[in-house]
Structure 1
Amino acid sequence: MEGYTKHVGIMGGTFDPIHCGHLLAAEQAREQAKLDEVWFLPTHIPPHKSRHGLTPAHHRLRMVELAVADHPAFHVCDEELRREGPSYTYDTMRLLTQKFPTHHFSFIIGGDMVNTLPEWNHYEELVRMIRFIGLARPGSRMKRENESVTYVEMPVWDISSTLIRNRVGAGKSIRYLVPDAVARYIKENGLYGSVE
């Protein structure tokens, strides 16, 4: 799009903890959707998740900072952590588009979320403000009729933050599932039941 200085992809999530699947998805989106940068946006209170015992924000933020430190196009955005209440994408993107008027923003979402987009808070206003990038896993059953979504092909890699937390709690290795710096941080801070 002409007139924009940067094409920025926003990757939101609780990142509890961030793992290599998140980083792989961000890199695929950056490359295939021709993004200049990807900003990782840890959520304060996710509106669609009810898991109790969310790790304190400062830990989740620090793990994201450590995970993206070696990638020149990856950055951290703490916009939602500085606000109270649930983290709605519309509110965040409205603030970011006002703060960075020369950036063109895309919001990166999992393929399973594409079909629920019309249910999002202020969806009609959102699609006028930004585009969405849907991560399409092979064999996924998402409808591709949504013109507001650019699709990016993702390799199959079944990994989740729940898996990481469970493995740490059981004393199992998370090597190669999270960046080394994140694994060290989890251990040093005794997160998820790990032994310090």
Structure 2
Amino acid sequence: MSRRRDLAKRALDLTVALALAVVTLPVQAAAAAAIRGTLGSPVLFRQRRPGRDGVPFVLVKFRTMADVDPARGLVDDAARLTPLGRWLRSTSIDELPTLWNVVRGDLSLVGPRPLLMQYLERYSPEQARRHEVRPGLTGLAQVAGRNALSWEDKLRLDVEYVDSRSLRGDLRILRATVPLLARRVGISAAGEATAAQFHGAAGPAS
């Protein structure tokens, strides 16, 4: 049963991701040209993220931030995020290149979002269970509130997804994601350009 479910999920991932990647090529080309004109090269942002079982892969997105430049005050995310980058994030156009990560098998359409490598050592054993499945472009935490949720709630929902996942559930999450993208809900946490860092259950080190 589990193998059939995984094969059906992979077939859905490939079918939808390839179709969306092809259909959105004009949008991707326009976004790439706009980024090249405002930020220069590179157009793409690449970063190692933990995949299934914590195995790293290279996530690819459109670049939305200027390089760190203390002389110009470009240090934190809020300062580095460009107006174009803010719009690309609010529309999720910045994530269109990530469809190729789905095609490659690094990601699934639905699953816990791939976070930062340094977070691996900060999870509780229960939170770390989010890596028992392939990460996704969208997930239960995203349709429940995205970055407007606390870290505790997001990670709890990630584990809930791991325990209750099904193809039918994935389809429900995909359907719920579409209107949220149109409404641009939960893009950033309160007072943050995107989301505050996750410091673990104990919070920031003193």
Q: Which has the higher strand share?
A: 1
Higher helix proportion: 2
**TM-score using structure 1 length:** 0.25
- Length-normalised TM-score, structure 2: 0.24
